[in-house]
Structure 1
């Protein structure tokens, strides 16, 4: 066995948080080797970073070979192997191929893994990384009906992007997109599901994938999150001669998944979604798999997409180590991104923020926070090594996220869904069908959050109003009057 490699810094994970952390460390410590351990030859790199406002950022994510990162940062050494074991008492990380790395500082950025409804079912797909998205595309090409379970970002985009195939969408909430917006915003967006998509889709400016089959990527249970625009470059069209045919089953969950033989043995009557004006629903004597919902309905389909969220990928690290874990299973971190173990930090989806947060911030497992956490973790590691004090990054003062759903720009700020505000708040809404949806959350005359859908150009003004906590009571409904340029008030 080869001798252990001794390194000042080891980062585990080739997603946004891990790569950002390694890049920041490489820039701060150009004479030190930074070891980045990742299970895949493809890593996620942030490019085209654009500062929209003080906190709000837009950026492209390019999936590329690890050699590109090494060219850009010669002191980053990418190790293509899955992490198998952490021996924190020995400050040692061991990979699947037996290689050992003794670290001075370790940052765990191992991401999360899909939370599948059932494991081992050949007709169940979980979409998490580029490989699983391409597997979905392959199955879709011959499908007549799919059942999508889940109400998060990937489910939202999937049901909109799929064409020529009937979609039954099972959600646990009353309205779509409950994680991101309220019923009013959901109603604004849902009209897009009932209309034909534009023939020339809007240009997508954030995510680009360049996969190389020759890279020999192995199948792995865990991959870097796809994030927004995961469908870019994929042909998500089945054989049907229609665009959208989506039937939503609200406020329900999956009771069980039945293969064809079991379904026939139990003599259950299958449900059929309405045609929604696009012609008859595809009929079949049998389907390979059936989804029995707890609302009494059972739908047959060609395959099931489990888009029911993720769980932190902590398994390779917790065995034999006394980590404090959050309620969601993530590695607990303090305000300096430190876990409960000495010299072990964590960032991104694998961790749970356990400091007392700003009244305007909450953790969500999104790409924007993965980048912010990875960068800040590197700065905290550096500060501790150099025995310097460091203030918490300003990005943790206000939750801010930009994405795109149903071809609309979507911006979320602060307590955009009145998270944690109880009943002591009021909502103000402005909506122009097909154009924009603006909602602000007010408490005691102060703006606490906002949802902006469409090209509103209000993000910078509203971000400042939320951060400044100015008393806006005197403006009343004029705050959202479309005939008043609100920016003029607060220049």
Structure 2
């Protein structure tokens, strides 16, 4: 039984932290729940920042995890705009930036990630953007509207999910867009060359220009404003604004300074946790973008930076904090919306992990399911403009048994029959 006098502290005011607090109350925990976030906003979800909110299709209030009154109603002590500067694991306290020390019985770290920066001249110019927080999205949305109105140019460094979603939004506003990417296709490290080209074609069809095999070396300007970017192959592109979208780094400084076990960046980085999301300290847990989980299904240590991981990982950590048996074996999942293309991806199949890609449907019409296989086993599946198939795709991944590639490619064969 969890003592009602206990205090559970959650550091990180994002989706994972907010859902952890919600789950503690749903599971009957009646001790103190303290949720600490370094933003002044109430906890919110991040997908709309590069999708619906950025395009203007969703209102600001739609991004929040709970209504503002929810926290007081559920006796969750919400500290907004507060930075946790240290964790003293021996004393079991966290220290805030104002010097306040808060004692905990169990601690959850859900500190998220931050945009990777480019160390090149010109990143301090007005018109250079990163996208991680609600304030970033608000500023970028204003910029895209202005670029669209004035026929301005946006240069995006990076053709990952954020870069492509912003490219889609920018084109919908009418801005000119150039994407600079070091790899030979968009999403190369996620989808490989086979499906990465599909996204290159999608964006090219909508007027986006790509410059592959290159990196930004300088952002030039005048009177503090962006004028152009230069790349390492000697090219120059006009620009009125620049988005740096070269990935995100897990915010592990707090965990590192407190002596918790970490994972090397070469292996994905993050805070090392077991299948119950427990760190090397039995009273400290980690969830969301920073958690590098020893995955019981995939038999590897895996860190996932997507919405579904925060949505499900926060509650899983909360249950583990309560002493419940937890095995966090969720199949990684993420989604994107770009122009008229909607996509869901389940699984984990980085380049080199698979030996075959099987397609069911019509890639030309952008209505298909792609499967990544290793020795006949389905490692991952991506459904593009095909819906209500996530469950059978994930069941195929979970089965970990070989399937007939010809049957997998045949739309007349139900996916459920292959399991």
TM-score where L is the length of structure 1:
0.71
Q: Which residue pairs with 1:137 in the alignment?
A: 141
- How far the C-alpha of 1:355 sits from its partner, in A, is 5.9
Relative contact order, higher structure (CA 8 A, sep 6+): 1
Question: How far apart, in 2, do the equivalents of 1:123 and 1:84 lie?
Answer: 31
| Contact 2:114–2:132 (Cα < 8 Å) also in 1 | yes
Q: Which residue pairs with 2:217 in the alignment?
A: 255
Q: Which residue pairs with 1:406 in the alignment?
A: 339
State whether structure 2 residue 293 is matched by structure 1 residue 353.
yes
Flag the structure with larger Rg.
1
Aligned counterpart for 2:358 among listed residues 413, 421, 428: 428
Q: Which residue pairs with 2:391 in the alignment?
A: 460
Q: How does 1:370-389 map to 2 (within 5 A)?
A: 370-383=310-323
Question: How far apart, in 2, do the equivalents of 1:351 and 1:449 lie?
Answer: 21
| Contact 1:417–1:449 (Cα < 8 Å) also in 2 | no
Q: Which residue pairs with 1:443 in the alignment?
A: 374
Instruction: Tell me the secondary structure at the aligned position of residue 314 of structure 2.
Output: helix
Instruction: Tell me the secondary structure at the aligned position of residue 42 of structure 1.
Output: coil
- How far the C-alpha of 1:128 sits from its partner, in A, is 0.7
List alignment gaps of at least 5 residues for structure 1.
1-5, 47-59, 196-243, 263-286
| Deviation per residue, 1:434-461 (Å, 9 max, x gap) | 3413222233333232222112544333
State whether structure 2 residue 320 is matched by structure 1 residue 392.
no
State whether structure 2 residue 262 is matched by structure 1 residue 325.
yes
- How far the C-alpha of 1:115 sits from its partner, in A, is 1.0
Q: How does 1:42-191 map to 2 (within 5 A)?
A: 42-44=41-43, 62-63=63-64, 67-73=68-74, 75-80=75-80, 81-118=82-119, 120-143=124-147, 144-162=152-170, 163-191=173-201
Question: How far apart, in 1, do the equivalents of 2:177 and 2:68 lie?
Answer: 40
Q: How does 1:224-243 map to 2 (within 5 A)?
A: none
Question: How far apart, in 2, do the equivalents of 1:472 and 1:458 lie?
Answer: 17
List alignment gaps of at least 5 residues for structure 2.
46-60
- How far the C-alpha of 1:418 sits from its partner, in A, is 5.5
- How far the C-alpha of 1:61 sits from its partner, in A, is 7.2
TM-score where L is the length of structure 2:
0.82
- How far the C-alpha of 1:316 sits from its partner, in A, is 4.2
- Return the structure number with greater helix share: 2
Q: Which residue pairs with 1:336 in the alignment?
A: 276
Change (3 A) 1:426 1:342: closer
Question: How far apart, in 2, do the equivalents of 1:407 and 1:180 lie?
Answer: 21
Change (3 A) 1:391 1:77: closer
